[in-house]
Amino acid sequence: MPPNPTPNQLRFPSHFLWGAATAAHQTEGNNVNSDWWVREHTPGTSLAEASGDACDSFHRYGEEIRLLAELGLTTYRFSIEWARIEPEQGFVSRAAIDHYRRMVAACHEAGLTPMLTLHHFTNPRWFAARGGWQTPDAPELFARYTEAALPVLTDGVAWVCTINEPNGVAGAVGQSGPNLPNHVYALPDPQVSATLVLAHRRSREVLTAIPGIKSGWAIATQAFQPEPGCEQIAHTYGHPREDFFLEAARGDDFVGVQAYTRTVIGPDGPKPPREGVETTQMGWEYYPPAVGDGIRNAWKLTDGVPVIVTENGIATADDTRRIAYTTGALTAVHQAMTDGIDVRGYLHWSALDNYEWGTYHPTFGLIAVDRQTFTRTPKPSAHWLGQIARTGRLPLDAAP
C-alpha cells in the first residue's frame, strides 16, 4: 500500500478497480421472459410495484457507460440476462448475444473494465417452470448457458461473477415471504445451496478454459456480530447463510463481497436495529464498517482468495449520507488492505437508481433516473466517487 499523503486522506493502489454495479432486471426494463416478470404480474402478488421499463438501460446502456467513464470510474459491473439469451430451453438468441457484445464493446470504447455477472436473481421462465434450482440438472443447464454466453465473455471480459448472492437465491427457496422481518436473512434451503455450488463449479469449468477470464461468485456478507456469549449462536445462524458460500469459493480467482449493514446476534438470534439508530430506506442499520467485516470473513474462509467488493452502498434520499457512508466503507476497505488482505476493487451499488425487487422507493444510485423521461442525472456522490477513482485518494472530511 502506498503511504498516505496527508493525515486526512487515505491512498489506494493505482491498479485498484473503482466502479459501480447494476443488474439486468433492475435496469433494462421489459424482461418479459424472466420468472420475476411473471411474479410481478401474477394476480395477488406481494410485490408493491412491477419493474416495467425500469431505467430502459436495454436501449440506454451507452449513455450510462459513457457517464460512468466521464465521472472517472474505471469499472462497470453489470449482468447479462439468461432469460434473454436463452428465452426457450436450447434456443440461444443471437440478437441478445450481440446486444451484450455491444455493451462490452461500449465499455472498452469508454475505457471501462467490464465485470459481467451471469446470474443476478432472475431465471428464464422455462427454467423456473421446470423447478429452477430445485432440479438436479440445474448445474448442467447453467453450464450450457455459460457456454452460450462465451461470445460475450471472450470479447475481452476479464472478470466474471457466476452467480450473484447464491445465499439469497437459496434463501428465497428456503424461507421467503413478506412476513420475514428485515433484520432476519432467509434461511437457505440446503439442497438448493448445494446445487448452486455445483452450478458455480460447472460454470467455472467452462470459464477457466478461456485464457484471461477470472471468475468467482459474489456473496451477501452480513457482518454477524455476536453479543458476548452468543458466539455459537452466531455461528449456527451464520454458517448456512454466509460461511458455506464463502468456503465454496476456495480456489476461485476472486470472491465478491456485498455488504450493506451488520447483524447483531443475541441469545435469541438476530436483533433488529437498536431504538434510535439511523436506518436507511431499506430499514437497515446505517453501519458503514460492515464491508470490513465481510472482507475479513471472506479472506479467512476462502484461505486467502483475492477479494473484490462487488456491491456496497446505501438506500437514501439524502446524498450527503451516501458520501458519508461510502467514506466509512472505504476507510474499512483501506484498513483491511493495510492489514494485508488482498482487495482488488470497490464497486458501488448502484450506478443508477433502479428497481429494488418489488419497489422503486429505495434509491441506491449514484445517478438519478427520471422514470418518465429516463434522463440520467449524476448526484454529487457520483462526482465525489469519480474523483476518488481518478486520484486514488479518499478524503476523510466527510467522515460518518
C-alpha cell of residue 303 = 484461505
Amino acid at 385: L
| Residue 40 near ligand NOJ by CB under 6 A | no
Which one of residues 35, 64, 311, 319 is an interface residue with ligand NOJ (CB under 6 A)?
Answer: 311
Measure the CA–CA gap between 257 and 141, rounded to whole angstroms. Answer: 26
State the catalytic residue, choosing from 28, 40, 64, 165.
165
- Residue 165 is among the residues annotated as catalytic for this protein: yes
∠ CA 176-180-186, nearest 5°, is: 50
| Residue 36 near ligand NOJ by CB under 6 A | no
| Residue 242 near ligand NOJ by CB under 6 A | no
| Residues of this chain, 149-208, that bind ligand NOJ according to CB under 6 A | 164-165
Question: Is 17 strand, coil or helix?
Answer: strand
Measure the CA–CA gap between 157 and 61, rounded to whole angstroms. Answer: 17
Which one of residues 10, 17, 23, 104 is an interface residue with ligand NOJ (CB under 6 A)?
Answer: 23
Measure the CA–CA gap between 245 and 167, rounded to whole angstroms. Answer: 7
| Residue 35 near ligand NOJ by CB under 6 A | no
Question: Is 249 strand, coil or helix?
Answer: coil
Least CB distance to ligand NOJ at residue 306 (A):
20
**Residue among 164 and 193 whose Cβ is closer to ligand NOJ:** 164
Least CB distance to ligand NOJ at residue 304 (A):
24
Which one of residues 258, 297, 312, 316 is an interface residue with ligand NOJ (CB under 6 A)?
Answer: 258
The pattern of x and - marking residues 324 through 353 that bind ligand NOJ according to CB under 6 A reads -------------------------x----
Q: Name the H helices within the chain.
A: 24-27, 35-40, 57-71, 82-85, 94-110, 125-129, 138-148, 150-153, 166-174, 190-208, 231-238, 244-247, 290-301, 319-338, 380-391
Amino acid at 127: F
| Residue 28 near ligand NOJ by CB under 6 A | no
| Residue 81 near ligand NOJ by CB under 6 A | no
The binding site for ligand NOJ (CB under 6 A) comprises 23, 26, 164-165, 258, 311, 349, 356, 364
